[in-house]
Amino acid sequence: MQSAQPKPTRGGQTTTAAYVYLKKDAKAPASWENSTQQYLVATWDGAQWRNITWDQIKDAVPFEVCGPGWGVQEDAAYGGPQVFTDSDAPHYPDGVLKWVNQGGPLFAADHWDLEEQVGAVPACAPTYPVPTQSATPTPTVSPTPSATPSVTPEAPTPTPVPTDVVDDDVTPTPSVTPTPVATPAVTPSPTSEVLAAPSSTPAPTVRSEVLAAGALATTGSTALPLAVGAGVLVAAGGVLLALRHRRRPSGSDA
């Protein structure tokens, strides 16, 4: 490294940072104008140019650094490492950090080809073009004809079967009128009372009572109980009359 070391113009803490970038023109020397996107590799205290290592590069750069065309930029600034770690990495023409005369912390900067710091840069692994596969033509899909809907024949309407008409008005069964039962007349029981014999002769009385009984018998079946009762009374009267005749003395017959 042939460049002179940076010299701060005032006191205070100083820090140096190193960036790696791919040059726009691999054959041209490294410079700010020939740089692209830069990647912060390392920081250290003090204002001093240093060489970086491959390990630092591998740990910081997110892709493989190989082949020709790489450059290194180192910046010296007032302040601690956060001046660089808390800022975006520079990308030409945006330097991000400003110079001291512009109110920024930078007071020195320099550029080198990567080979000057790490020696030979390993060649990149050969890349082989990937054969482009011919796109398989998409087969043309013939439209599927829409199926003709089949018409389902309507089921024939069944012929109604005549049914016997049941007359809901059922003729009521005639009620049987119960036959009236004739209430038998109570036959009066003979009493112990002795009827007085009529003053007239018994023959006409018996005759008239018998005729009366015969007349009652001719009135029909409805007068039968009365006729029977009358006959019983007549018979009872005849018995009583006969008993009275027997009790009379024989000399009284005239």
| Band (88; pLDDT cuts 50, 70, 90) | very high
- Asked if pLDDT for residue 134 goes beyond 50, the answer is yes
Strand pairing report for 38-45 and 106-113: unpaired
- Asked if pLDDT for residue 196 goes beyond 80, the answer is no
Question: 9-13, 19-23, 37-41, 79-83: which range is least confident on average?
Answer: 9-13
Q: Which regions of 80-163 does DSSP assign to beta strands (E)?
A: 106-113
> What average pLDDT score do residues 28-36 get?
97
Question: What does the block give as tokens for 48?
Answer: 């001093």
pTM of the prediction?
Answer: 0.51
Greater model confidence, 198 or 56: 56
> What average pLDDT score do residues 208-221 get?
43
- Asked if pLDDT for residue 184 goes beyond 50, the answer is no
What's residue 126's pLDDT? Answer: 84
What's residue 116's pLDDT? Answer: 96
Top mean-pLDDT range of 8-22, 134-148, 222-236: 8-22
What's residue 65's pLDDT? Answer: 96
For the beta sheet containing 106-113, the strands, ordered from the edge strand earlier in sequence to the opposite edge, are: 38-45, 14-22, 70-78, 106-113
Question: 8-17, 120-129, 212-221, 226-235: which range is least confident on average?
Answer: 212-221
DSSP-assigned states of every residue in 112-130? EEHHHHHSSPPPPPP--PP
Q: Which residues contact 77 (CB under 8 A, 6 or more apart)?
A: 14, 15, 16, 17, 83, 84, 97, 104, 105, 106, 107
| Band (96; pLDDT cuts 50, 70, 90) | confident
Query: Under a CB-based contact definition with an 8 Å cutoff, are residues 49 and 117 in contact?
Result: no
> What average pLDDT score do residues 132-152 get?
62
- Asked if pLDDT for residue 18 goes beyond 70, the answer is yes
Query: Under a CB-based contact definition with an 8 Å cutoff, are residues 52 and 41 in contact?
Result: yes
What's residue 146's pLDDT? Answer: 61
- Asked if pLDDT for residue 55 goes beyond 70, the answer is yes
What's residue 236's pLDDT? Answer: 66
202-217 and 224-247 are packed helices; what angle lies between their axes, rounded to 10 degrees?
170
- Asked if pLDDT for residue 227 goes beyond 80, the answer is no
